[in-house]
Amino acid sequence: MGRKQSSSPWNAATGWYLVSWSKDLAGSGVMPLRYFGREYVLYRGESGTPALLDAFCPHLGAHLGYGGTVHGDAITCPFHAWSFGSNGRCTRIPYAERIPPKAGLRAYPVQEHSGMILAWFSRNGSEPHYDVPVINELSDSAWTPMEFAEIEIATEPREVIENIADFAHFKVVHNTVIDDFKVTIDGPRAIQQTVGRGANLKNEPIPVRSTATYHGPAVQLTRLAWAYDMVLINSHVPIEEDRLLLRFGVSLRAGEGVTLPKAVVDAHVAAARDGYFEDVAIWENKLWRDTPLLVKEDGPIWKVRKWYRSFYPPAAPSAAP
Ligand code: FES
Ligand SMILES: [Fe+2]
């Protein structure tokens, strides 16, 4: 049986999503992707620029992500060799005189930097109106190369987002005492600042300080001062309505000209990652409450929910994210 494709999936927040790590899309690579309950093809043109298109060929519906090949900056369908440029327009039908004007695929704005391939999904077809900033530490030799992890989990984006406002879970889930906690909303960004106390890997108490900024609804960059200074990427992208892919990246500051033993780096990277994944066991089994019963010490949960809703402009009638 063939595949089904919904033209308009469920409501998704408009913004930049991390659709692949750069390292996973090799030179002129082609990758099928499934996000938001829909199929896409991600490929890297010969110029090195990645492109993201809807997956199914407008001709007879082959999936470009399975057997599609790259020529220049276009991708060629494995079935009858129609080619499509990175803007989705059909550029060539090798056996036809004329290209039908409608021959094209939806193309999504793509950016690549800091080891991330980001794509803009919009409910109403809006163009990108903010950027995910470049992580400058990654081009500084005092910092270790970024380590990457990903995990597929059965939850929805709102649960992941809510984590930044949920003051009371830090002690219980992460064994961190927070002395100072603040969430600031600045347009498309939600900035969480914390000062607290945790433990190093020898279980000695040490101060912990972090600034974790969501740049839009799905990509968070964190600067963390713990046993080492660290920079973290944390992003999620929905696969289906009730399943998402969580991606996590971490780099630590070893120091100028310092080579830390690999085991030390690995242990701190793992600890940072595992701290984040501690939430997963809760998320996978919980219920989303639209009207939770809160107490005033719970943190700015309503404020963050309101911010997240701002990424849901009214959908255009036939818009796909
Ligand atoms: S299905 Fe793609 S070229 Fe025919
Ligand atoms: Fe958490």
Q: Is 69 in the pocket of ligand 1 (CB under 6 A)?
A: no
Q: Are residues 153 and 112 in the same domain?
A: no
pLDDT per residue as tens digits for the range 121-145: 998 889 999 999 999 999 999 999 9
Question: Given this model, what pLDDT does residue 6 score?
Answer: 65
- CATH code of 270's domain: 3.90.380.10
Question: Given this model, what pLDDT does residue 319 score?
Answer: 54
CA distance 41 to 46: 16
Indicate if the pLDDT at residue 65 is higher than 80: yes
Q: Is 82 in the pocket of ligand 1 (CB under 6 A)?
A: yes
Task: Give the domain-ending residue among 121, 151, 177.
Answer: 121
Question: Given this model, what pLDDT does residue 10 score?
Answer: 57
Q: Are residues 185 and 53 in the same domain?
A: no
Q: What is the percent of the chain where pLDDT is above 90?
A: 80
Q: Is 62 in the pocket of ligand 1 (CB under 6 A)?
A: yes
Question: Given this model, what pLDDT does residue 318 score?
Answer: 58
Q: Are residues 228 and 205 in the same domain?
A: yes
pTM metric for this prediction: 0.94
- 8 in any annotated domain: no
- 52 in any annotated domain: yes
Q: Are residues 21 and 62 in the same domain?
A: yes
Q: Are residues 117 and 245 in the same domain?
A: no
Residue span of the structural domain in which 145 resides: 136-309
pLDDT per residue as tens digits for the range 170-203: 889 988 899 999 999 999 999 999 999 988 889 8
Q: Are residues 305 and 170 in the same domain?
A: yes
Q: Are residues 147 and 230 in the same domain?
A: yes
Q: Are residues 114 and 24 in the same domain?
A: yes
Task: Give the domain-ending residue among 86, 121, 156.
Answer: 121
Ligand 1 atom nearest residue 77's Cα: 2
DSSP secondary structure letter of residue 134: P
- What tokens appear for 205 in the block? 């108490």
Arithmetic mean of pLDDT over the chain: 93
- What tokens appear for 148 in the block? 């990457």
Task: Give the domain-ending residue among 121, 144, 166.
Answer: 121
Ligand 1 atom nearest residue 62's Cα: 1
**Whose structure tokens read 């077809």?**
125
Question: Given this model, what pLDDT does residue 313 score?
Answer: 77
pLDDT per residue as tens digits for the range 206-254: 999 999 999 999 999 999 999 999 999 999 999 998 999 999 999 999 9
With cut-offs at 50, 70 and 90, classify the pLDDT of residue 27: confident
Task: Please report which ligand is nearest the Cα atom of 274.
Answer: 2
Q: Is 59 in the pocket of ligand 1 (CB under 6 A)?
A: yes
- 5 in any annotated domain: no
Q: Is 90 in the pocket of ligand 1 (CB under 6 A)?
A: no
With cut-offs at 50, 70 and 90, classify the pLDDT of residue 17: very high
Question: Given this model, what pLDDT does residue 115 score?
Answer: 96
pLDDT per residue as tens digits for the range 256-295: 988 889 998 899 888 888 888 889 989 999 999 999 999 9
CA distance 131 to 215: 7
- 2 in any annotated domain: no
Contact 239, 34 (CB under 8 A): yes
Q: Are residues 153 and 102 in the same domain?
A: no
Q: Are residues 236 and 284 in the same domain?
A: yes
- CATH code of 64's domain: 2.102.10.10
Ligand 1 atom nearest residue 60's Cα: 1
Instruction: Give the distance between the most distant pair of CA atoms in the chain.
Output: 74
Count of the separate structural domains present in the chain: 2
Contact 50, 112 (CB under 8 A): yes
Q: Are residues 110 and 214 in the same domain?
A: no
182 CA to middle of ligand 2, Å? 15
Burial of 246 (0-12, 13-18, 19+ CB in 10 A): buried
Q: Is 103 in the pocket of ligand 1 (CB under 6 A)?
A: no
81 CA to middle of ligand 2, Å? 48
Q: Are residues 208 and 280 in the same domain?
A: yes
